[in-house]
Amino acid sequence: MSSLAKTLEFDPDQFIQPPTISPMMLDQVRLEVSAKLDRSHRSAFGQFMTPSSVARFMANLFPASPHKTARLLDAGAGVGSLLGAFLDRWGQGEFPFQHVEVTAYEIDDTLRKRLSHTLAHYAEQLDIRTEVLGADFIEDAVNRIQFQDSRRFTHAILNPPYKKIASRSRHRLLLRQIGIETVNLYTAFVALAVAQMVPGGQIVAIIPRSFCNGPYYKPFRDFILERAAIRHIHLFAARDKAFKDDAVLQENVILLLECGGKQGEVIVSTSMDDSFADYATHTHPFERIVFPADPERFIHIPTDPEQAAFELAPAFSSTLSDIGVEVATGPVVDFRMKEHLRDMPEAGSIPLIYPTHFTGQSIEWPKPGAKKPNALMLNADTKKWLYPNGYYAVVRRFSSKEEKRRIVASLVSPDAFDTRHLGFENHLNVFHHAKQGLPEDLARGLAAYLNTTMIDEYFRRFSGHTQVNATDLRRLKYPSRDALIKLGRWAVAHPTMTQEQLDNKIESMA
């Protein structure tokens, strides 16, 4: 297949046909059980059960297999939706297996009973051996790996739990014993599955997209990329659709991994939701997924067949260090300075700037009646957290899920404040130089550049978060310092510029 992206024809009906083997309505079972489970109970276990349309899509991602016996793992099997989809495909003659051995983990008693019924039904019609375990998957898998259990899996189909792992927890310590360092159950489950696969073993998993970037998930990215090849990534464009029955707002992806495989091109597919009605797929060289020179090994998910000007143009190749600029998270953490906060400015106070004070490029400060304080007392306890008044480009760290943009930049102008010091609250990222303000044209140019559609779309390729961290902004490439200054002067000359005008200006710089 060509490395150039190619949209393929797709029939969504292939993923929504009723199973031919099992008459059981697993979706109905899933919904009935989910309704009976207390929401706090599900949250404690990180349980979000897979809709049947997603399960069948996942099962259809597995390629042809040379194995006569499939040894299939599901590490958080729920009522058996994923296993049922895999076994349905085998029952329809799409796999050459003569026999399937299923190992299914489910720690919840209610779900495990339903799971046993599901697998018992399949066992009546297919040549399968089933092992349903109520054990803790992490503990059991670590023991198997440490004691060199000879059993290895040829296939795994996973919807792992989503829940943070405390740094000193038992799970974290167990994982470290076998060289897995990670911060969430979902990445732990995927890493343990990879560690237990035969060479060439295939894993299909639906997981949150958060592992694609950020320092906390780098050890996991390293672990996976060193042991498996990414063959396919599917992205749901809508954050609230893949698990809509459970009101999950996490942005999810589906991965197909080949353990021990040689990395080649990667298929990237998209759909708005689990109906797959608008399914589209393209193929990309791996260098567009993980940039060769990126030490963080961020995983990009390009949804456009063509490489953006941002990726190709030498005009956008400078780092922040190259242009003499730094970026930092706003240092004022308000809940730690409650005694120094003031609703409105008063004698001895200085401006405390929150995201709420920005509307586009304009600043409304002070903001009477705002939920946030407007001022911070200037004293020995607060002075070390402050910046001198000056020109700064700032980016909000958080955006709501409804907002169209993830990166929203604004300009701080010294003319807005009659003061020598400014306080930047922790929900802002601040572009500065040695904790001082920037030249006006440079600050304006940075803010304009960061507000381009090109930058926002690029950011979304490696981040599914509504959060924008200083680390993310450091990783971006920028125009040269001189080019940014010229852009800032252009912005001054076009105070009412539209988004289209700004984007056209940036394209002309490429």
Do residues 203 and 158 touch, judged by C-beta distance below 8 A?
yes
Compare 254 and 18 and report the one with higher pLDDT: 254
Q: What would the pLDDT profile of 347-366 be if each residue is shown by its tens digit?
A: 999 999 999 999 877 889 99
Q: What tokens were used for 163?
A: 């829940």
Phi and psi at 334, nearest 5°, equal -60, -40
Residue with tokens 């939706």: 81
**Residues of the chain above pLDDT 90, percent:** 68
Instruction: Note whether residue 361 is domain-resident.
Output: yes
Element counts in the chain: helices (H) and strands (E): 15, 20
Note whether residue 189 is domain-resident.
yes
The predicted pLDDT at position 128 comes to 95
Residue 491: alpha-carbon gap to chain centroid: 33
Find the domain containing 222 and state its range: 12-307
Based on the structure, what is the number of domains in the chain? Answer: 2
The amino acid present at 421, given as its one-letter code, is: H
The whole-number average pLDDT for the span 47-71 is: 89
Let me know whether 300 and 444 are in one domain. Answer: no
Q: Write the CATH number for 485.
A: 3.90.220.10
**Does the pLDDT at position 279 exceed 80?**
yes
Tell whether 288 is covered by a domain: yes
Give 152-190 pLDDT, tens digit per residue: 999 999 999 999 999 999 999 999 999 999 999 999 999
- pLDDT exceeds cutoff 70 at 8: no
169 and 30 belong to one structural domain? yes
4 occurs within a structural domain = no
Q: Give domain status of residue 1, yes or no.
A: no
Is residue 35 predicted with pLDDT exceeding 60? no
d(CA 510, CA 478): 11
Same domain, 359 and 481: yes
Rg (CA), the chain: 26
The answer on pLDDT for 417 being more than 80 is yes
Task: Provide the residue count of the chain.
Answer: 510
Q: Report the pLDDT value the prediction gives residue 260, as an integer from 0 to 100.
A: 96
495 shares its domain with 443? yes
Lowest-confidence pick of 7-21, 46-60, 220-234? 7-21
- Evaluate if residue 57 carries a pLDDT over 50: yes
Six token digits for residue 87: 């076994």
Per-residue confidence band for 14, with pLDDT thresholds at 50, 70 and 90: very low
The reply to whether 253 and 355 lie within a common domain is: no
Q: Is the pLDDT of residue 244 over 50?
A: no
- Same domain membership, residue 177 and residue 107: yes
Over residues 259-282, mean pLDDT: 93
pLDDT surpassing 60 at residue 218: yes
Q: Pick the last residue of a domain from 256, 276, 307.
A: 307
What is the model's pLDDT at position 459?
84
The set of residues, in sequence order, having a beta carbon less than 8 Å from that of 437 and lying 6+ positions away, is 387, 388, 389, 390, 391, 392, 414, 443
**pLDDT tens by residue, 294-316:** 888 999 988 776 655 556 567 88
75-132 pLDDT per residue, tens: 999 999 999 999 999 999 999 999 999 999 999 998 999 999 999 999 999 999 999 9
Q: Is 123 contained in some domain?
A: yes
Question: DSSP letters along 360-414, please?
Answer: TTEE--S-TT-SS--EEE-STTTGGG-EESSBEEEEESB--TT-S-S--EEEE-G
Shared domain for 159 and 138, answered yes or no, is yes
Q: What is the four-CA torsion angle of 377, 378, 381, 386, rounded to 10 degrees?
A: 110
pTM over 0.85: no
* Chain CA centroid to CA 458, Å: 14
List of E strands, 66-164: 69-74, 99-105, 128-133, 153-158
Alpha carbon distance 477, 506 (integer Å): 13
Residues 99, 50: one domain? yes
- Co-location of 472 and 378 in the same domain: yes
The last residue of one of the domains, among 284, 307, 330, is 307
What is the CB-side half-sphere exposure of residue 34 using CA atoms within 13 A? 21
Q: How far is CA 193 from CA 8, 174, 343, in A?
A: 31, 15, 53
Q: What is the pLDDT of residues 442-476, one digit of tens each?
A: 999 999 999 999 898 888 777 766 688 898 899 88
Mean pLDDT of 307-328: 81
- Alpha-carbon gap, residue 488 to 481, rounded angstroms: 11
More confident residue, 37 or 415: 415
Q: Is the model's pLDDT at 242 over the cut of 60?
A: no
pLDDT at 75: 96
**Per-residue confidence (pLDDT) for residue 16, from 0 to 100:** 40
Query: Does any domain span residue 359?
Result: yes
Query: Does residue 406 surpass a pLDDT of 70?
Result: yes
Residue type at 466 in one-letter notation: T
Backbone angles phi, psi at 257, to 5 degrees: -115, 140
Pairing type for strands 387-388 and 358-359 reads unpaired
Q: What's the average model confidence in pLDDT over 386-413?
A: 86
Same domain, 291 and 333: no
Q: Report if residue 363 sits inside a domain.
A: yes
Write down the residue that tokens 């120094």 correspond to: 340
The stretch 215-230 carries a mean pLDDT of 95
Task: Look at residue 18 in the predicted model and tell me its pLDDT.
Answer: 38
The CATH number for 283's domain is 3.40.50.150
What's 476's DSSP letter?
S
Verify that 303 and 321 share a domain, yes or no. Answer: no
**Boundary of a domain, candidates 307, 337, 358:** 307
- How far apart are alpha carbons 101 and 299 in whole angstroms? 33
Residues 162 and 215 placed together within one structural domain of the fold: yes
The position carrying tokens 């295939």 is 202
For the chain, the average pLDDT equals 86
